[in-house]
Amino acid sequence: MPIQITAEQEITVGQTVVIEAPAPAGHFMAAFEDDTETGYFYALDLSRPDSPIEDALHIYNVSNVKDKALPSLLKIGWSLDSRKAVLLINGYPHAVFDFDARRGYCRTGFPPPDESSPWGAHSHAWLDEATDLFA
């Protein structure tokens, strides 16, 4: 999976953190947030400063993470064309955004898509083919 890592940080699940990862080229950004209760991955379009968040994917509920006391290595990477982002935790893909298809994939499949949004045409369900976007 050829990716360009634009953010890398050790985190502890349940501790407040925001990690931003701008695309190497263009106006997109992906961000991860742990607010002490949940972990979310966001797709942002920085060309829309009034409302940059395009989509949000649920990654975990802190209360359900068994090894939350252990540090985890979080990485956000981009495809070579800067149009797809992947969230890796300890080297394992947890979520993918495809900015061209306006689609997000995550292991929890949550939240349901907002059908009024341009990103709302597809479910957030994980498909193993999502990592093929980086081939």
pLDDT score for 64: 97
Q: Cβ distance 91 to 77 under 8 Å?
A: no
- Asked whether the predicted pLDDT for residue 128 surpasses 80, the reply is yes
The pTM of this model reads 0.96
Q: Is the preceding peptide bond at 22 cis, omega within 30 degrees of 0?
A: no
Residue spans per domain, the chain: 4-134
> Is the confidence at residue 1, as pLDDT, over 80?
no
Are the C-beta atoms of 53 and 42 separated by less than 8 Å? yes
Q: What is the pLDDT of residues 58-93, one digit of tens each?
A: 999 999 999 999 999 999 999 999 999 999 999 999
Per-residue pLDDT tens digits for 17-36: 999 999 999 999 999 999 99
Beta strands in 1-91, from DSSP E residues, in sequence order: 4-11, 17-22, 28-34, 38-45, 53-61, 72-78, 84-89
